[in-house]
Structure 1
Amino acid sequence: MSKEAEEAIEEANSLSDEEFLQRLIHPSPESSWPEWTHPQTGATYHLRLTRTEALTEKEVDDCLALVQQTSGDAYRASANGWRPGAKRREMRTAGLRYVLVRGDRHHGPLVGFVSMMLTWEAGEAVVYCYEIHLEALLRGSGLGTMLMGFVASVARRTPHVAKVMLTCFTSNSRARAFYSRLGYGVDASSPRETRELRGGRTVGSQYVILSLVVD
């Protein structure tokens, strides 16, 4: 890692949420931030950027419940299983930033979120997308594409950042197709999706690492 890249990551991670929003997510003048309107139903949702340290326990509970609702089966089918305590601790990892989506500004239900971190992977400066989860009724609405666009914007606007990375269950074909449409491919660091054991038996990896190279 270069000194310049290290300094760029440190500076970006030191930004306040408002500075991070304006400089790195950078909503366009035409953007309706902090609101988003469902193109089919006309319902309005509220967006909020926050660092993990500012999340309330209720917000962590809501995020955890949404993860379990959308991905609980995949976790339970994995080797590590569904471990809510470990997931809660991961959600509190220092340096994470969240964009929360609610039904209204303060008290509406949490219907989606994305979390990301500027960090290092194999000596490269990257934005790692930890989670993106939406209620089922919001899938296909364009909200997920917008949230992932925010993540990519952070990568593009932070000097020396090479790419966005994320981990996806191999069993989640819907998510794989979504990321593929956004331009993500299998990263060189990803484990092989199938490997042959002694005796000729093959086993599959339970997850794949995907990445999007940014300009």
Structure 2
Amino acid sequence: MSSSVQDGRVTKHKSSSRRSSARRMSQSNQENKEQKKTQPLPLIERTNALPIEQFRSTYAPTISETFKLKNPTEEAEDSSIPDQTKELDYMLDLYTAKTIPSADFEACFGLIELTSSNAYDGSSVGWSPSKKRKEMKLPDMKYLIARRGSRSEGKDESEPAGGAILGFLSFMVTYEDGKEVIYCYEIHLSPEARGMGLGRQLMLTCENVGRHVGLEKTMLTVFKSNTKAVRFYERCGFEIDEYSPQPRRLRNGTVKEPDYLILSKMLDNDDPWETD
């Protein structure tokens, strides 16, 4: 028998009770697993789980389109002669940290080193090539690569069109202070690509990706010493974020100013950017 009478009470054997409890726990764990399978992932995790081809078609559907920018010609170096410009074709490629070609990755790192290593050296952060490379390879990092030229008709848009990298913007769809944001990690242009509007094109593309995903705002970090970059972001509509670090008063009474700013821009703001 599976039970016995003790002092007028009917009790079950402990071994039977333990087996029943184990079965209930196993059944509960299985139900929890099944429930988790049916629940959709949160927006950030769901977005970052997409293959790059699906991410591109869903959130950056126009990225493969060629765009034109006006380039000053050699004859137009005299600024008193207006409209002596010619338009050239440009295009963007989109990669993840895993899919970016190694040559493109090294070119992007080279641009950071060329344009920003001195700013890092003069900051509290310091310049560390190994740390920067590690950050650049974070799994959810994505890259917008700018090149001159147009994609050949019928060419797979996931393949680079060739040619030197003129600039890039790296970004991540992520959480920041509990908010769903698109965070611009880096934006750098080669010297010959400055002043033609390529930086604006990269930033606009990044913002549009954020809007397509349904994120709240764009965020970035900039060194205070990089006044040119600060002015560029201000023209793009960025403002100092509420979570930007504040001055700290040390024990000896000295006030320590942070050497960087956190800027942000709400993505529901459709006001046009200021003109130069």
TM-score range, shorter chain: 0.7 to 0.9
CA–CA separation in structure 1 for the residues paired with 2:91 and 2:55: 18
Quote the residue 2:244 is aligned against: 190
Identity across matched positions, percent: 36
Helix, strand or coil at the partner of 1:94: coil
Select 2:71's aligned residue among 11, 17, 40: 40
Give per-residue Cα distances to partners, 1:135-190, cap 9 Å, x unaligned.
Answer: 1232231111111111111221223x211111111111111111111111111111
Listed as ranges, the gaps of 5+ residues in structure 1 are none
Measured after TM superposition, the shift of residue 99 of structure 1 is 0.8
Helix, strand or coil at the partner of 1:39: strand
Quote the residue 2:264 is aligned against: 211
CA–CA separation in structure 1 for the residues paired with 2:232 and 2:71: 19
CA–CA separation in structure 2 for the residues paired with 1:198 and 1:87: 32
Native 8 Å contact 1:25 1:154 kept in 2: yes
Measured after TM superposition, the shift of residue 8 of structure 1 is 1.7
CA–CA separation in structure 2 for the residues paired with 1:39 and 1:140: 10
The one-letter amino acid of 2:49's match is S
Alignment of 1:138-157 (within 5 A): 138-157=193-212
Select 2:183's aligned residue among 128, 138, 142: 128
Q: 1:5 to 1:167 in 2, by over 3 A?
A: farther
Higher RCO (Cα < 8 Å, 6 or more apart): 1
Deviates more, 1:40-49 or 1:178-187: 40-49
Give the TM-score taking structure 1 as reference length: 0.86
Give the TM-score taking structure 2 as reference length: 0.68
The one-letter amino acid of 2:208's match is S
Give per-residue Cα distances to partners, 1:19-58, cap 9 Å, x unaligned.
Answer: 322321232xxx8x44343312434333211111012322
Select 1:56's aligned residue among 101, 111, 125: 101
CA–CA separation in structure 1 for the residues paired with 2:138 and 2:147: 22
Alignment of 1:65-214 (within 5 A): 65-103=110-148, 105-159=160-214, 161-192=215-246, 194-214=247-267
Aligned length: 206
Measured after TM superposition, the shift of residue 113 of structure 1 is 0.3
Quote the residue 2:27 is aligned against: none
Native 8 Å contact 1:111 1:134 kept in 2: yes
CA–CA separation in structure 1 for the residues paired with 2:182 and 2:257: 27
CA–CA separation in structure 2 for the residues paired with 1:151 and 1:46: 14
The one-letter amino acid of 2:115's match is T
Native 8 Å contact 1:164 1:212 kept in 2: yes
CA–CA separation in structure 2 for the residues paired with 1:39 and 1:211: 29
The one-letter amino acid of 2:218's match is V
- Bigger-Rg structure (1/2): 2
